[in-house]
């Protein structure tokens, strides 16, 4: 049932984004970010429904394959950039990071913990909203296409997520700064992998 609910949720987000793009409620990049932020909330469903690492691994691994095929053959237009620079496999790295974090959390604690929630939600909302703000509000470019306002958004959103789900203020600040730096310097699309993994590792330490 949890696997079925996962597929229903993810395909629902993709379908809704496709409709919003078709009727021009969202532009191409807006549709991509809608999927990025929407699908990332799967971790909340996983947190409350899965009690087995093997079953929890099925949806992310499925979408590693589906997203790679979509990247190669443009199966889901709402997910793909029309203009690509290099091998932008961000849509593939996204479910791959979900798999790594979920598997690591289950194997260590026999359940999903708030560590997994925080790590994935930082990627979901921090990274997702930083791109939206960075594109909409012009500010100084810090590195490549990353801007000051985008990085500030990443840091602030990460702190908010930490305040809601964590109690250790020092951990919140350390992770916020680290996640922002990792997002800033990661190659395009690769931050979907580096941000949650680095955040999760730090959550194990601090």
**Tens of pLDDT, residues 54-88:** 999 999 999 999 999 999 998 898 888 776 666 68
- The token pair at 17 is 């984004």
pLDDT value of position 83: 67
Residue in the structure block whose two tokens are 């993810």: 10
The angle subtended at Cα 106 by Cα 127 and Cα 52, nearest 5°, is 115
Name the 3-class secondary structure at 41.
Answer: coil
pTM greater than the 0.75 cutoff = yes
Name the 3-class secondary structure at 181.
Answer: helix
Q: How far, in Å, are 52, 53, 103, 134, 143 from residue 111 at the CA level?
A: 8, 8, 9, 36, 38
Phi, psi dihedrals of residue 141, rounded to the nearest 5°: -80, 130
**Res. 144: pLDDT tops 90:** no
């Amino acid at each position: 049932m949890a696997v079925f609910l996962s597929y229903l949720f993810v395909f629902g987000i993709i379908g809704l984004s496709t409709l919003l793009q078709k009727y021009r409620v969202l532009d191409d990049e807006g549709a991509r970010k809608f999927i990025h932020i929407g699908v990332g909330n799967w971790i909340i469903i996983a947190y409350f429904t899965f009690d087995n690492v093997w079953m929890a691994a099925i949806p992310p691994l499925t979408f590693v394959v589906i997203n790679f095929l979509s990247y190669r053959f443009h199966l889901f237009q709402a997910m793909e950039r029309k203009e690509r620079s290099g091998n932008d496999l961000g849509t593939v790295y996204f479910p791959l990071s979900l798999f790594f974090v979920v598997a690591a959390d289950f194997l260590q604690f026999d359940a999903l913990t708030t560590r997994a929630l925080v790590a994935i939600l930082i990627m979901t909302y921090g990274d997702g909203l930083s791109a939206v703000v960075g594109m909409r509000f012009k500010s100084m470019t810090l590195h490549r296409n990353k801007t000051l306002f985008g990085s500030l958004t990443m840091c602030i959103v990460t702190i908010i997520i930490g305040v809601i789900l964590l109690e250790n203020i020092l951990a919140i600040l350390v992770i916020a700064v680290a996640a922002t730096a990792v997002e800033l310097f990661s190659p395009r699309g690769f931050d979907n992998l580096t941000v949650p993994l680095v955040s999760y590792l730090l959550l194990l330490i601090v």
